[in-house]
Homo-oligomer: A and B are copies of this chain.
Amino acid sequence: MEVLKKILIHKYDKGEMTEVDDVSILEERVSFYLNGEKVISTMCIPIDTEAHAVGFMFSEGVIERMDDIDSVRVGDDGLSVYIEAKINEANLKHLYKEKTLVSGCGGGVSGNVDSTIEIPFNENRFSLRAEYILERIGLFYKESELYRLTGCVHKAMLVFEDGKAIESEDIGRHNAIDKVAGKARMSGYEIERSILMVSGRLSSEMVVKAVMHRVPIVVSRTAPTFLGVKTAFTHGVTLCGFARGDRMNIYTHEERILL
């Protein structure tokens, strides 16, 4: 799907107004269906749509294993994703229980924020050198083509032990995380041994997504909230913020960061 739309704008520059061509990023309502029932809609950039739906279902604990998925299909309009799968009914109900507005871009509802889903502490001893993490986030920051053209996207990237990386972009940070996690699941990457890099602030539900996907290390260029820190601490996630140049803050579980 073409995600850039041409628009005509007025540019004001030092007292002069001129008409110029510009581009703007597509924002669409995409709906996720599970076994024939609509589960939720999300405002997003309609790319990586299958991965988005799959990643979201894992993030919410509704789908727990790739083997449980029979099929994933995008409708002809490109704005509907149909998943046939064995699901966790309790977690699906939980998703409907209460509307909670969450704070991060791409936000929305997360049934898991209040931890009524039992999530085991992440005992994973996966660890990496600080220098390697900073080197990789240095690459991550190189602006994406979509960002350069529109100034309007967030990016999430999973970096694996062997140096491979996959990434996704969206107008919302949450969507970007769901998309990249979905991609990893669908391609069989070992997400349990990866770093999640995100371009935005780490509020609690961003951390919850990492917890649900069993990602051991999360790195951002900016700050976590107090609840983000608490959630990471409680669930065994290593949380790094303000990772820039040769510095970063490590908020929780620094045992995974080697000197």
Residues in chain A within 8 A of chain B (CB atoms): 5, 7, 9-17, 22, 24-29, 38, 40-44, 95-96, 98-109, 113-114, 130-131, 150-152, 170-175, 200-201, 203-205, 222-229, 241-242, 246-251, 254, 257, 259
Q: Do B152 and A204 have beta carbons less than 8 Å apart?
A: no
A102 to B109 CA separation, bound complex (whole angstroms): 9
Q: Do A43 and B101 have beta carbons less than 8 Å apart?
A: yes
A257 to B65 CA separation, bound complex (whole angstroms): 54
Q: How many copies does the complex hold?
A: 2
**With A43-B204, A201-B152, A224-B24 in contact, is A109–B109 under 8 Å at CB?**
yes
Q: Do B151 and A222 have beta carbons less than 8 Å apart?
A: yes
Q: Do B175 and A98 have beta carbons less than 8 Å apart?
A: no
Q: Do B248 and A12 have beta carbons less than 8 Å apart?
A: yes
A151 to B26 CA separation, bound complex (whole angstroms): 28
Shortest CB distance A62–B (Å): 13
Q: Which residue of B lies closest to A149 (CB)?
A: B223
